[in-house]
Amino acid sequence: MEEKDVQGEVANDYPFAYLVTAPRFLGYSFNPVSFWYLYNEEKQLRAMILEVNNTFDERRMYFLKDTILKDPDESWTVIEHPRSKFKDTWPKDFHVSPFNSRKGSYALSAQDPFSAHLNGTCKVDNTITLSSSKANVKLIARVFSDQPSIDPTTLGAWARLRFIASWWWVGFVTFPRIVREAGKLFFRRKLHVWYRPEVSKDSIGRHATEDEALDHSIKYTSPIPSSTTAEIFTPKHTISPEEPSSQPQQPIEIKITTPLFYARLARYTHMSEFLSTEILKTDDDDKTRTFYVSHPRPFLQLFEESEKKPNSLDQRASSTTTTPKRRSPLSWRFLHWLRSCRRRQSFGPQKRPSLSSSQMTDIRHLGFSQLDRFAMRHESSHQAARYRRTVTKMLLSDMVAFGHPEALDAVAYVTRVMLSYVFVGAVRVIWEWWDRRQRRGRGTWVHYCGDESWSEWETW
């Protein structure tokens, strides 16, 4: 645990920790859930951390306290005898299985591995119960040990080798086993499949793809954090100078929950259009939100004020369609055309937000986005070219591949394979034609030169 408060807790209150997880072998490890046991200075189990991972490379850390310690009237000092069972319940807010929604709750009943009555056997026995939003039990999972624990420091070389040979394959077959069971539930049981929502602000998003990592490397959105960690800052002005206020400035917390944020940002022409679409989503659209802001309206006003300044990026650009000559103008114009043809998302007649009383300006005619112009003017030629190709692929995928750039990559790969096959076949045909022509010419030369020359040619 880091040296900071987590959910009102201090890391120094838990000086001892014990981890139950699957080990990494040959650089690979997949753990659906890992258990952290946290002990106080008296080595009494007081809290646990459940590190839950799904198959989409997303993670959720649940900090749990024993139910007896959640009563504000109770104090740790009144517990005279250590408890051997740890119990807690908490709401479900993380997508683990496509056959269950994010609604419901979990309940944990865990055995303290270092409980006094176990006499040092270090027994693991954890039971997790998943209940629906209607309090109906849907799933019961249990992790327990049926043999005494093993101390690796007491094992010899041969015993260690036998242990590794017996367990090295378990981590590699965990994911295939999950896929197999999912196939049974879908094809045999015909269970309903829930669409995977984006993670909440308390979860850890997946790793970025190559395209998202490139958009991430364009250092344009300096007020926005460049990772999934939260950042807090206090703006100098959250309102316009014409509207003074005596209220103190509120710190604004910003957290990018998923790298999909960068891919969506690159698709929009205007920064404020993207932010207003993402931030002001209704509760029904919260599952597609890519970042979290504690105070949405003051945060949006920061960008509105920056766009009105004469030294803003839009004002410095001489023209929205001007492309530097050193930047392959034809390719940039193709990107400009794609942006002009892109369909804009709509809030609908009842969901359209009203940020302020100022007059709204239609910005959909702009071809190049703010990020495009920034990349053209401030990035190197190589970086700008990579950015242009990435965004072009994203916009093309929206038009022909339902927004999946991976589909275009697959089509490009198949096309390259087919072109390579055609090229090799063409080279082979030309070579055979050239060989037949040479043989025909040699045969004519032998016909006129006689048998002696034929013998010499055959030997050669």
Q: pLDDT tens, 380-412?
A: 888 888 888 899 998 888 888 888 888 899 999
Note the pLDDT of residue 373: 85
SS3 call for 62 = strand
| Interval 179-185 mean pLDDT | 93
Rounded to whole angstroms, what are the CA distances from 191 to 99, 132, 263, 431?
7, 15, 32, 58
Q: How far apart, in whole angstroms, are the C-alpha atoms of residue 169 and residue 158?
A: 18
User: Strands 33-39 and 125-131: what pairing?
Assistant: unpaired
SS3 call for 13 = helix
Give the percent of the chain with pLDDT over 90.
Answer: 26
Q: Which carries the bigger pLDDT value, residue 250 or residue 446?
A: 250
C-alpha 26 chain-centroid distance:
23
Q: How far apart, in whole angstroms, are the C-alpha atoms of residue 106 and residue 129?
A: 6
DSSP letter, residue 350: T
Amino acid code (one letter) for 305: E
Q: How far apart, in whole angstroms, are the C-alpha atoms of residue 154 and residue 449?
A: 90
DSSP letter, residue 355: -
Instruction: Say if CB 394 and CB 211 are below 8 A apart.
Output: yes
| pLDDT class of 251 with cuts at 50, 70, 90 | confident
C-alpha 429 chain-centroid distance:
48
| Helix H or strand E segment including 378 | helix 370-378
C-alpha 124 chain-centroid distance:
32
Alpha helices in 192-251 (DSSP H): 210-217
Kindly give, in sequence order, each residue whose CB lies less than 8 Å from that of residue 317, ignoring residues fewer than 6 positions away: 373, 377
Residue 160 CB: number of other CB atoms within 10 A?
Answer: 11
pLDDT, one tens digit per residue, over 190-219 is: 999 998 899 988 899 998 888 887 766 665
- Residue spans of beta strands (DSSP E) within 132-204: 137-144, 203-204
Instruction: Say if CB 64 and CB 33 are below 8 A apart.
Output: no
Kindly give, in sequence order, each residue whose CB lies less than 8 Å from that of residue 425, ignoring residues fewer than 6 positions away: none
Instruction: Say if CB 360 and CB 210 are below 8 A apart.
Output: no
**Tokens, residue 127:** 């039971």
Nearest 5 degrees, angle CA 193-CA 199-CA 205?
A: 115
Note the pLDDT of residue 87: 92
Of the candidates 106, 109, 96, 98, which has an alpha carbon nearest to the alpha carbon of residue 133?
A: 106
Note the pLDDT of residue 283: 57
Instruction: Say if CB 272 and CB 369 are below 8 A apart.
Output: no
pLDDT, one tens digit per residue, over 121-155 is: 678 899 999 999 898 999 999 999 888 888 888 88
**Tokens, residue 413:** 């790969």
Q: How far apart, in whole angstroms, are the C-alpha atoms of residue 44 and residue 406?
A: 50
The mean pLDDT value of the chain amounts to 77
Note the pLDDT of residue 419: 95
pLDDT, one tens digit per residue, over 21-62 is: 988 888 888 889 999 999 998 888 999 999 999 999 999 999
